[in-house]
Amino acid sequence: MLKNRNFVLASSSPRRRELLAGVGLDFEVIPPRVRESARDGEAPLDFAKRMAREKALYVCAQERRGRIVVGSDTVVSISGEIFGKPRDEEDALSMLQKLSGRTHEVITGFCVARSPGDVLHLGATRTEVRMKSLDTEGMRRYIKTGEPMDKAGAYAIQGIGSCLVEWIKGSYTGVVGLPLFELVSVLSDIGVVESG
């Protein structure tokens, strides 16, 4: 059982909330308002870490109680191309077609900060995911469920999208949106979380 001081999750993702609640942590959610777009030539790892940092620092600037803030961002990448959340069904189909039968990388950046000028940790997990070979009709049926529309890479590994995945190598919770093992370790190191 984990015990912790209350902290803030800088996210609007229900999956991140579910992951933290699932391990019994006490936290508050404050959604950040940041523009999520990669800079020209920005590497996927750099983009995920920058977005996690920007989210955490945005909320730090709003937070008046001195609590620790956690920001996170997940991107899917194949051959250096960054896939965020699909704009529409055709964009989702295009993403799934590019991922079909191939191995891609899911990068989740996470940032732990105390104030806009005090970033305590900035890191990321990188997970390899192999997608099964998918036919276009199966992709369209999956898209019609609505599940992929707010997910990086247009699939949810924790939902119906798990049927599209052949294997993963790395952090399952990182693919979902928040690398719990790594985050809890950092929070423990700085005294926010303790086991017992």
List, by residue number, the catalytic residues.
Answer: 73
Instruction: Give 109-163 as a DSSP string.
Output: EEEEEEETTEEEEEEEEEEEEEEPP--HHHHHHHHHTSGGGGSGGG--TTTGGGG
Of 1, 119, 114, 104, which Cα lies nearest the Cα of 50? 119
Could you tell me where the beta strands, DSSP code E, fall in 18-117? 27-29, 69-78, 81-83, 103-115
